[in-house]
Structure 1
């Protein structure tokens, strides 16, 4: 990424990214990079996407390229993703079976030339029963080196998982959420874990 046109300010753990980049993928990468820095509590992202002349595509061309990219991952009968493009802003909708499919669909289209913004509204509709989701997540967390059952509690309601409690780092918070998402039947994760 060319960071020549980006500016950064930081105060009390809140980082503000400003400036412009050549494509949406760079904008996303800057936001992710800023969020990984130790001590960052929030990222305010004010980066503008200024497409070079050779990247200016009509919405129908952008949509066609996105459909072609998603076709490579359409291997699950439960995978049903729809694309809408308006003035370079892409919206994904539909449903998938797993959270990783939702993330993969977004990653696939993020670098399509001409995209200036992306809204992922894909829903997760599991194929399996959610009756044992809480037990599955608890057992998986017990295998994590940081898990302390007295500091993390979880509740499950029809596939929606809520994590409460405390962890020691942003990485532990992320691992706990990823563990919850990896359990069959999970449709949403509300990560309320605080970092101490």
Structure 2
């Protein structure tokens, strides 16, 4: 059984492994398997990367990302940031960029609008992360799917069986309208994230309720 001290050590090692120089300005604390990250990085993309790195560590039950973004160099005008964000959005989502509105306020980007599938919503936010001057992203893009719930449920279960790090036998999927409910047990935070990600990728999903519990005991 991993202790909080073990998890802290492993998270620190993972941050060094995945983020290299950014790790020196970060601090890690762990209480009851919940990891809190603090310190600072020089871009919003780095902030997201350190959070993802911590989530992948075995034994982690949750991550609180309190890392501050301290931008290097002179601050950029919001208008310049917005133009770069719009260009990145068109590049990533040429067919649906016109349905998304970008608002920038002191480096904080807000995305609004409507798309049909969650991967479009995710890509829109991801496109903003590496734009110089962005300090954070609030994704308010709404999903308006047009798929039958039975088809959604079937496709998600099939995806679970295809994904190597998701144990489909211990996860129950229920679809009501555009809402998918995941219930059951997984063996790590990373498996829980993978299962939720797979559910979001299915066409027709507008909301995912994650009721999965994490059992970190050794698999027989």
* Higher percent of residues as helix: 2
Count of aligned positions: 193
Residues 79 and 97 in structure 1, CA contact (< 8 A), matched pair in contact too: no
Q: Give the structure 2 partner of residue 45 of structure 1.
A: 65
Greater share of residues in strand: 1
1:124 aligns with 2:124: no
Label 1:69 to 1:16 Cα distance change in 2 as closer, same or farther (>3 A): same
Q: Deviations over 1:29-52 (max 9, x none)?
A: 111111111111122222111112
Which whole-Å deviations, capped at 9, do the CAs of 1:56-92 have from their partners, x for residues lacking one?
Answer: 1011111111001111133335862111111111111
In structure 1, list runs of 5 or more residues that go unmatched.
none
1:62 aligns with 2:81: yes
Equivalent position to 1:92, from 89, 111, 129: 111
Query: 1:126 and 1:6 mapped to 2: Cα distance?
Result: 40
Moved >4 Å (runs of 4+): 142-145
75-84 vs 14-23, which moves further = 75-84
Structure 2 unaligned residues grouped into runs of 5+: 1-18, 216-220
TM-score, normalisation: structure 2: 0.79
What's the Cα RMSD here?
A: 2.1
| Alpha-carbon distance in 1 for matches of 2:187, 2:24 | 35
**Equivalent runs, 1:3-82 vs 2, <5 Å:** 3-54=23-74, 56-77=75-96, 80-82=99-101
